[in-house]
């Protein structure tokens, strides 16, 4: 499992590794702010490329084995990317968690972060996990690296929503 998560990190951060062929359904949605509770890491794409420094596979492993259904519960599951230092090259925080009401009480050892309200470009995909997520992130990177991209990333908060065992939507904040 951790090797599949590492592969996902590689594809997300280095889109040239992706061999996506499928079409992606794109739409813009205006999202109200949401609170997500879970556990997080502060990392950068360069560190995630080195197995000894990579924190994302451990984050998801810890979330599924020790947090989900013991300290938090609910569906869908979110992967929230936020607190960007700059852009794809800077530090960011990734939180694995679930949505909670703003006034919800949470365990002291969990973190609550916010999905920033605004416009998001949504990349939806269905298929076998984790391949479908890898392909969806490949589509994100291909879109934003294209000269034909109609939108620009805002780097406020981006998030993955795991809607089912075979469906994911990736929301990218746009200007």
User: Cβ(36)–Cβ(98) under 8 Å?
Assistant: yes
- Print the domain residue range for 140: 2-174
Whole-number pLDDT of residue 45: 86
Residue whose tokens read 């002291």: 108
Between residues 23 and 43, the one the model is more confident about: 43
Whole-number pLDDT of residue 88: 84
> How is residue 53 written in tokens?
């420094």
Say yes or no to pLDDT of 69 above 70: yes
Distance of alpha carbon 92 from alpha carbon 84, whole angstroms? 4
- Find the helix or strand (DSSP H, E) in which 92 lies: strand 92-100
Whole-number pLDDT of residue 157: 97
User: Between the ranges 6-10, 53-57, 119-123, where is the mean pLDDT highest?
Assistant: 119-123
Distance of alpha carbon 81 from alpha carbon 64, whole angstroms? 18
Mean pLDDT of all residues in 143-166: 95
Whole-number pLDDT of residue 36: 96
Q: How many domains does the chain have?
A: 1
Sign of the CA dihedral with 75 first, then 142, 146, and 22 last: negative
Distance of alpha carbon 57 from alpha carbon 92, whole angstroms? 15
Q: What integer best gives the mean pLDDT of the chain? A: 87
**Distances from the Cα of 13 to the Cα of 9, 58, 74, angstroms:** 6, 17, 28
Q: Which residues pair with 78 in a beta bridge?
A: 97, 161
Distance of alpha carbon 88 from alpha carbon 155, whole angstroms? 9
pTM for the predicted model, two decimal places: 0.84
**Alpha carbon of residue 122 to chain centroid:** 12
What CATH number is given to the structural domain containing 84? 3.20.80.10
Burial class (CB in 10 A: 0-12, 13-18, 19+), 132: middle
Residue whose tokens read 């929301």: 171
Q: What digits encode the pLDDT tens for the residues 96-140?
A: 999 999 888 888 999 999 999 999 999 999 999 888 988 998 899
User: Cβ(116)–Cβ(156) under 8 Å?
Assistant: yes
């Amino acid at each position: 499992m951790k090797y599949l998560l590492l592969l996902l990190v590689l594809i997300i951060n280095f889109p040239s590794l992706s061999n996506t062929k499928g079409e992606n359904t794109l739409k813009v949605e205006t999202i109200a702010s949401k609170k997500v509770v879970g556990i997080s890491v502060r990392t950068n794409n360069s560190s995630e490329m080195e197995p000894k420094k990579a924190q994302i596979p451990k984050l998801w492993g810890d979330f599924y084995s020790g947090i989900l259904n013991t300290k938090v519960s609910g569906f869908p599951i979110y992967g929230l990317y936020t607190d960007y230092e700059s852009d794809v090259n800077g530090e960011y925080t990734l939180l694995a968690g679930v949505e909670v009401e703003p006034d919800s009480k949470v365990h002291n050892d969990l973190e609550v972060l916010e999905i920033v309200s605004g416009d998001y470009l949504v990349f939806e995909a269905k298929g076998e996990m984790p391949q479908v997520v890898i392909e969806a992130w490949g589509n994100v990177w291909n879109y934003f690296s294209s000269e034909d991209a109609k939108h620009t990333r805002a780097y406020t908060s981006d998030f993955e929503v795991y809607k089912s065992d075979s469906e994911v939507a990736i929301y990218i904040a746009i200007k």
